[in-house]
């Protein structure tokens, strides 16, 4: 079994990307290592047995990598939450605040059945705005979030406060 410490050691800190003052958590060294990538998926999905989740919802774009792999492991479907304007069919949209301005994410209106048991996954929890907006879209379709999981959490940004009421877990906490 891979430990969270080993995962953390494979995450590269890139200062001042994409702009000054941001330390970007680069997951590509982790993804490139077969053992660590598989171990990260095991840790993200380890609260669930195959068949206990109907859909794993992943957030555009790095969330897709982990959510899709977890979906296969859990014998669940995969549902993408995308940036506005990317999904081809009818969508529900949700706005959320960024540091400067706002952004919009979208999900297909038929992506989840009412009552579906959902695991929501993104690569990183920062301020929580993105995940809260994705959770709102899942709720709008009448599906049920079992857990919201992140590979990485930047605890000092208090993102969990925006995810009040949902069980939240993260593998590596900074
Ligand atoms: P937030 O809505 O503030 O929680 O931001 C979360 C989203 O922004 C995630 O989809 C992350 O991929 C991305 N993100 C925010 N901060 C970072 C960071 N320091 N390193 C890598 N990705 C980040």
Q: Which atom of ligand 1 is nearest to the CA of 59?
A: 10
User: What pLDDT, in 10s, does the model give residues 4-30?
Assistant: 999 999 999 999 999 999 999 999 999
Q: Is 155 exposed, middle or buried (0-12, 13-18, 19+ CB in 10 A)?
A: exposed
**pLDDT-based confidence at residue 50 (cuts at 50, 70, 90):** very high
Report the separation in Å between the CA atom of 52 and the middle of ligand 1, taken as the mean of its atom positions: 28
Structural domains in the chain (count): 1
Query: Active site residue: 12, 93, 99, 169, which one?
Result: 99
Q: Which atom of ligand 1 is nearest to the CA of 122?
A: 10
Q: Check residue 52 and give its pLDDT.
A: 98
- 100 phi and psi angles, rounded to 5 deg: -125, 115
pTM of the model: 0.98
Range of weakest confidence among 33-37, 53-57, 95-99, 161-165:
95-99
Q: In this structure, which residue's CA is closest to atom 18 in ligand 1?
A: 24
Tell me if residue 99 is catalytic.
yes
- 67 phi and psi angles, rounded to 5 deg: -65, -40
CATH code, domain with 76: 3.40.50.2020
The residue to which tokens 């695991």 are assigned: 119
**pLDDT-based confidence at residue 100 (cuts at 50, 70, 90):** confident
Q: Which domain holds residue 72?
A: 48-173
**Could you tell me if residue 37 is inside a domain?**
no
User: What pLDDT, in 10s, does the model give residues 56-69?
Assistant: 999 999 999 999 99
**Could you tell me if residue 141 is inside a domain?**
yes
């Amino acid at each position: 079994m891979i430990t969270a410490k080993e995962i953390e050691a494979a995450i590269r800190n890139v200062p001042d990307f994409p702009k000054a003052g941001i330390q970007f958590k680069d997951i590509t060294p982790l993804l490139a290592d077969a053992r660590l990538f598989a171990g990260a998926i095991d840790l993200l999905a380890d609260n669930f047995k195959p068949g206990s989740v109907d859909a794993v919802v992943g957030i555009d774009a790095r969330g897709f990598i982990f959510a899709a792999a977890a979906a296969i492991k859990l014998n669940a479907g995969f549902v993408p939450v995308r940036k506005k304007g990317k999904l081809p069919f009818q969508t529900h949209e949700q706005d959320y605040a960024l540091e400067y301005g706002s952004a919009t994410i979208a999900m297909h209106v038929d992506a989840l059945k009412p009552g579906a048991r959902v695991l929501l996954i993104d690569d990183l929890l920062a301020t929580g705005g993105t995940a809260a907006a994705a959770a709102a879209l899942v709720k709008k379709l009448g599906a049920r979030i079992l857990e919201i999981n992140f590979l990485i959490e930047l605890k000092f940004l208090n993102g969990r406060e925006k995810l009040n009421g949902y069980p939240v877990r993260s593998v590596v906490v900074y």
